[in-house]
Structures are given as C-alpha cells and as structure tokens.
C-alpha cells in the first residue's frame, strides 16, 4: 500500500471507511470467482439470503394471502393492474455517463425493460405489475457513487433520497465495489427499515450503459424481482428451492448461457436448470422469463407487505 503521504484525503477516507465498516458482498459467490466478479465477467447480486427463520415466517404470512393451496398457478390480481411508481436516484461523481450521470434515455429504456419483462412480453408469464416513472433525482457525491456498497454510505444515501411508501420503488444507480451489479431489499424488510427499502444497481447495467454482457437492463429486472419478494432460482440448492413449484430445481447459480445445464438429477428433480429465468445469474441475453408461479408469489408477497405506494 502506498504511504499515507502519497494518498489524497479522499483516498485515505475511502480506505478507512472500507476497513472499518463492512461492504456488501454476494453471499452466493465462491472465493474462486472473486476475480471474475470484480471485472463484471459473471453476474453478482448482493441481496441477502433469507435465513431459515425468515423463510418460515414469510411462508406462513404469505401463504395466508394465497387464495388456495395451489394459488401459485394463477395470479390473484389481473396482469398489469398493480401500478408501481418508480423514483430513479442517479448518484454520480460528475457529468457524463462515464461518471455515472445516467441520461434520461437510459432511465426510459430501463423502465421499458421492466415493463416488458413483468408483462410477459419478453417471453415469460405476465405478472400483476406495471412500472411508471414518478421522478428522477440527480446527486453529485463521489463517496456515495463509489462506496454505495458500504453499509454506512448506503444508509446515508438512502436516508437522504428515499421517497414514498412501501409500494413505491426507489432505484439507486451508482458504482458499487466488489464487482456487484446490484442488490435489493425484500418486501418484509420494509416495516423495520423503511428508508433502506429499494433497489441499487450498477449505473452501467442500464440498457446501453456499457457493462456488457450485463447492460440490457436485466440486472434491474432481477433486483426488482427480489423487491417484489422472489428468491434466486438456486436458493438452497436441489433440496431447497425458491418457494415456487414451477421453477426447476437448481444446485447452484448458472453463469453465461449454459444451454442444457442440469445440476439436479433423478426423478425427484425433473427438467433442466432454469437458466432463462430472470432470477438466475445468467447473462442478460440469456434470461427472458418469469414463471406463472413466480408471478403469483410476487403478487402474494406484495399484497401482504406492500399494500400501497
């Protein structure tokens, strides 16, 4: 490490901040994949994995909202009938896309990607959700921009910028460290931490943002899935599951687009891995669908925990 005299005050502050406070990481990332993640060569997601206790509690509460034991097969609310207002908080370190100052055209494109994905127009099942732009804020703050994955910085940023209630989606664009593409809070987290609610994404993951192969907007789609209550398709491995019956079992996250991958074998686990599902870790070009079960699960989660904007 360079001597303190060779470092700027800002650099020293950043090092101290990182050393003293935990930075968000991907709980599903193997240590051997850290270098790939740092260069955005594989998908990463910093959304926390729910504990067994959380899963059991949420399952009880959400199951109470499902109309029948097989309600996963049909969404309770009409496709597109739940209008979600969206606030985009563009955090940057200066002018221009390279500095994170995302232009309005990319924000509009991201909304279009969300609406296409959640309406089923990209090839999957339609869901109850439609997204509409409520507003855009722009904040020039180099610390927030480059250290938004550090817990105290994330808290400062969100506390200052968060708008609306449980049913309002707050999207923060910044440049997190560790190769993270994004993360989200789950619906049941809102009651205890309303100001922390929302989705954070790498600014260049927006459509046309330059973070290829993750610049078609599906990091946003994936993280909004968590915000609506969906888990990773590979959560818990073959014997675990995502609480949805129509997503095939998957032992671990899939990267790239490994057509035909089948990590859970035998009669108990029919079908190949769901590599085209938005809640896996494949490249943007590979993922294009939610299942009917995911649509119903997200609907039940939001009906339980996000009743109004």
- Catalytic residues, by residue number, are 223
CA atoms within 13 A on the CB side of 37: 22
Q: Could you give phi then psi for residue 70, rounded to 5 degrees?
A: -115, 30
Residue 86: strand pairing partners: 133, 169
Peptide bond just before 213 cis, omega within 30 deg: yes
Residues linked to residue 82 through DSSP beta bridges, in sequence order: 129
Q: Decide: 145 and 100 in contact? Cβ < 8 Å.
A: yes
Alpha helices in 94-211 (DSSP H): 104-118, 142-146, 151-161
Q: List the structure tokens of 64.
A: 């109470």
Report the C-alpha gap between 217 and 284 in whole angstroms: 7
Closest CA to 224 of 258, 254, 197, 184: 184
Contact 254, 280 (CB under 8 A): yes
How many angstroms separate the CA atoms of 81 and 98, rounded? Answer: 37
Give the DSSP letter string of 40-105: TSS----PPPPPHHHHHHHHHHHHTTSSSTTGGGS-SS-TT-EEEEEEEEEEESSSSGGGT---HH
């Amino acid at each position: 490490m360079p001597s303190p005299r060779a470092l700027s005050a800002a650099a020293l502050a950043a090092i101290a901040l990182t050393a003293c406070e935990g930075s968000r990481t991907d709980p599903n990332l193997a240590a051997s994949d850290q270098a790939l993640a740092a260069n955005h060569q594989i998908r990463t997601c910093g959304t926390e994995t729910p504990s067994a206790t959380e899963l059991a509690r949420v399952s009880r509460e959400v199951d109470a909202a499902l109309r029948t034991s097989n309600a996963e097969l049909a969404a309770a609310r009409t496709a597109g009938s739940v209008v979600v207002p969206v606030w985009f908080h563009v955090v940057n370190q200066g002018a221009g896309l390279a500095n994170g100052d995302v232009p309005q055209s990319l924000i509009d494109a991201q909304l279009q990607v969300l609406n296409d994905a959640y309406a089923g127009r990209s090839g999957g099942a339609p869901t109850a959700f439609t997204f509409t732009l409520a507003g855009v804020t722009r904040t020039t703050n180099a610390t927030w921009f480059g250290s938004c994955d550090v817990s105290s910085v994330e808290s400062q940023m969100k506390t200052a910028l968060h708008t609306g209630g449980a049913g309002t989606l707050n999207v923060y664009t910044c440049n997190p460290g560790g190769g993270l593409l994004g993360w989200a809070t789950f619906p049941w987290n809102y009651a205890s931490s309303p100001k922390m609610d929302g989705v954070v994404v790498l600014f260049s993951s927006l459509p046309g943002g330059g973070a290829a192969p993750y610049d078609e907007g599906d990091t946003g789609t994936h993280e909004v899935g968590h915000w609506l209550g969906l888990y990773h398709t590979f959560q818990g491995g073959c014997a675990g599951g995502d609480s949805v019956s129509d997503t095939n079992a998957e032992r671990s996250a899939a990267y790239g687009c490994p057509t035909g991958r089948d990590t859970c074998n035998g009669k108990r686990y029919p079908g190949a891995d769901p590599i085209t599902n938005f809640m896996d870790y494949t490249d943007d070009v590979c993922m294009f669908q939610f299942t009917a079960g995911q649509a119903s699960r997200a609907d039940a989660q939001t009906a339980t925990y996000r009743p109004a904007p």
